[in-house]
Structure 1
Amino acid sequence: MDNLVFTQFSMTRMYFLKIVEAVSKEQANVQPDGFNNTIHWHIGHVLTVTEQFMFGFPQNTTNLPTNYIELFGNGTKPADWKGDVPSIDELFIQLKDQLVRLKQIPSERLQETLESPILKCETFGQLACLSVMHEAAHLGQIQAMKRIIEHVGVKN
């Protein structure tokens, strides 16, 4: 079962990267009607939340700039962005690097009990499953947004 979680991480992330690669720079920053954010935000959000869940960002890891919480954390939106916002290309590289680090997590770690539950997850393994589900949900949002942008011709 432990290997299944890491297989899911790998499969989901590889598909996520494939979809992100197919998004143009213009499409990435369009916010279609009915959506709360842009594709650019979703990409950074998945990276940031996975880093929070799996590596304790920002307290326990320095793999991402701390301003990612203000840019891509829960409740944020591109309309409020200030300062340096990483490009899609930069986020893409960070997503690939993060996958390498995810694969290095020892499978025994999945059995560890969390100090306090996070979103009803009591073990690190449950949190890992939640992280994969979270990424897949945002992948669906990105795919829907991309289709709307392509077929309706939504402009910035």
Structure 2
Amino acid sequence: MNDFTLKNFEMTRRFFLRVVEDLDEAIIDVQPLGFNNTIHWQIGHVLTVTEQFMFGFPKKSSNLPENYLELFGNGTKPSDWNEGVPALHELVSRLKEQGTRLQSLSPEAFHQPLKKPFMGFETFGELANMALYHEANHLGQIQSMNKLVSTAILNK
């Protein structure tokens, strides 16, 4: 499971970055009808939640600015943003750096029990698999939003 999980992180992040790097920046802050957020938020959310799950952000990790929780944490939304929102290129850079750190995790770490169960998960490996599911889910959201917004803009 350990090497498999690390390979899945590498593959998922590679696909995620490929999609994100091909986005038209003109559409990342458009909120499509029926969605609670934007592509910009989705990207920052994946980065922030993965940092929380895998590296204990913000208490155990200083790899992201603390305001990322206010911008991209659960329950946040772009309509509440005022300032300090990172540009797409900054998020992409941080995603790449985080991907490198993910790959440097020890395979043995995935067997470690969590200090207390979280969302029903009892080991770090179970939490890691949730992080993978979370990223893949948001990748699908980004792809759907991109298609919706791009089609709407082209049809005007």
**With structure 1 as the length reference, what TM-score do the two structures score?**
0.97
Q: Does 1:58 align with 2:48?
A: no
Give the RMSD, CA atoms, in angstroms: 0.9
- 1:55 CA drift (Å): 0.1
State the partner residue of 2:21.
Answer: 21
- 1:83 CA drift (Å): 2.2
Q: Deviations over 1:6-57 (max 9, x none)?
A: 1110100000000001111111111000111000000000000000000000
State the partner residue of 1:100.
Answer: 100
Instruction: Name the count of aligned residue pairs.
Output: 154
State the partner residue of 1:90.
Answer: 90
* Dislocated runs of 4+, deviation >4 Å: none
Return the alpha-carbon distance in structure 2 between the equivalents of residues 3 and 27 of structure 1: 37
User: Unmatched 5+ residue regions in structure 2?
Assistant: none
Return the alpha-carbon distance in structure 2 between the equivalents of residues 145 and 73 of structure 1: 19
Taking the TM superposition and a 5 Å limit, the aligned residue runs for 1:61-76 are: 61-76=61-76
Return the alpha-carbon distance in structure 2 between the equivalents of residues 146 and 37 of structure 1: 12
State the partner residue of 2:113.
Answer: 113
**With structure 2 as the length reference, what TM-score do the two structures score?**
0.97
Q: The residue matched to 2:114 in structure 1 has which SS?
A: strand
